[in-house]
Structure 1
Amino acid sequence: MILGLDIAQFTALHVAISLVAIATGIVVMLAFASGRVRVRFLTGLFLVTTAATTITGFLFPIRAITPALITGIVSTPVLAVAFIAVYRYRLKGRARAIYAVSASLALYLNLLAFVTQAFLKVPSLHALAPQGTETPFLAAQLATLAAMIALGIRTFSVARRTAA
């Protein structure tokens, strides 16, 4: 039992939170990249649900150091920086660029886990890459990375331009 839920229920909660984080993160980052620096409610929802995804990830039984655990460890300070840029510095000056980088990285880490879990749990994807080292899995991860690098660069350049 985790937070009064059995493991299946807790996993469903964790996944639901993660999907909200990913959806709002994509909307927020696309808005940021188009020059709409802040979508107030969605920015907060993105940050809170991404943090909740990380926190709930740490509540699963830890038996060994895994890529998921390392992702959570990396995500924690990245999210802290994004929260500080938004709520302490109100995205003023350099905080915009700092937020652009940290939010892009936080979204990428969530997407990395999403793609990995999709290949593990969705039967048709798992059939394409049962070991997680096959070309379809690597192509999906590379496409995700490339898309997030492009989005991150765009949000960073918009942030620098609008901060000046």
Structure 2
Amino acid sequence: MFDLQTYTLIHVLISLAALFTGLPLLFGWKAGKALPGLATVTLVLLLLTSATGFGFPFIKFLPSHAFGILSLGLLAVTIYARWSRQLAGAWRTAYGATLAVAIYLDAFVTLVQAFLKIPALHALVPSDQSPGFALGQGLLLIVFLALGIAAVRGLRRAA
């Protein structure tokens, strides 16, 4: 029997685990450490997050589906850059950038869900049209741009 509540909990836990492995990965890269094992764990968790996201019942195409498709496309490039191209030349940058963007997308969706599901945050940000939504997502974007650029630069030094 399909238990939506349990499925949702599993999906959320996978997504949070991806974020909690992805952030240390980016900081490690920033410090010039390649961390291939942590990168693989993060990659697998992000793949599972996107894959399980398509298991929810739906009637129409939603923004979450677009994010899932985008994330899977980015992760396909990440996989190709790492295992097919062996991080040679510009593929190291492609690997770091696509994985960093996939981690950002996970953080973006996590913040959206926090605004929707956590009562105190929902009171501050009642809809995606409210100024708090744009402010929160704008700050998240700025933080990830800075961290992502620094991480990719550090990853190139780790070669």
C-alpha contact 2:15 2:106 (8 A) present in aligned 1? yes
Residue 5 (structure 2) aligned to one of 8, 32, 54: 8
Q: SS at 2:54's partner residue?
A: helix
Q: CA deviation at 1:40?
A: 2.7
CA distance in structure 1 between the aligned counterparts of 2:94 and 2:144, rounded to whole angstroms: 16
C-alpha contact 1:94 1:160 (8 A) present in aligned 2? no
C-alpha contact 1:28 1:42 (8 A) present in aligned 2? yes
Match of 1:30 in 2: 27
Question: Could you give the per-residue CA deviations for residues 15-45 of structure 1, whole angstroms, max 9, x where no partner exists?
Answer: 00000000101011111111102x1321111
Q: TM-score, normalised by structure 2?
A: 0.93
Q: CA deviation at 1:160?
A: 4.1
Q: CA RMSD in A?
A: 1.5
Match of 2:149 in 1: 153
Residue 99 (structure 2) aligned to one of 99, 103, 112: 103
Where does structure 2 lack aligned partners over 5 or more consecutive residues?
none
Q: Which moved more, 1:96-105 or 1:80-89?
A: 80-89
CA distance in structure 2 between the aligned counterparts of 1:85 and 1:150, rounded to whole angstroms: 22
Q: Which moved more, 1:84-93 or 1:108-117?
A: 84-93
C-alpha contact 1:78 1:102 (8 A) present in aligned 2? yes
Alignment of 1:10-159 (within 5 A): 10-37=7-34, 39-159=35-155
C-alpha contact 2:33 2:155 (8 A) present in aligned 1? no
Q: SS at 2:18's partner residue?
A: helix
Q: SS at 1:59's partner residue?
A: coil
RCO comparison, higher one (Cα < 8 Å, 6+) = 2
CA distance in structure 2 between the aligned counterparts of 1:5 and 1:43, rounded to whole angstroms: 32
Corresponding residue pairs, total: 159
C-alpha contact 1:58 1:69 (8 A) present in aligned 2? yes
CA distance in structure 2 between the aligned counterparts of 1:159 and 1:134, rounded to whole angstroms: 37
Where does structure 1 lack aligned partners over 5 or more consecutive residues?
none
C-alpha contact 1:85 1:98 (8 A) present in aligned 2? yes
CA distance in structure 2 between the aligned counterparts of 1:25 and 1:63, rounded to whole angstroms: 31
CA distance in structure 1 between the aligned counterparts of 2:43 and 2:2, rounded to whole angstroms: 24
CA distance in structure 2 between the aligned counterparts of 1:159 and 1:41, rounded to whole angstroms: 14
Paired-residue identity, %: 35
Q: TM-score, normalised by structure 1?
A: 0.90
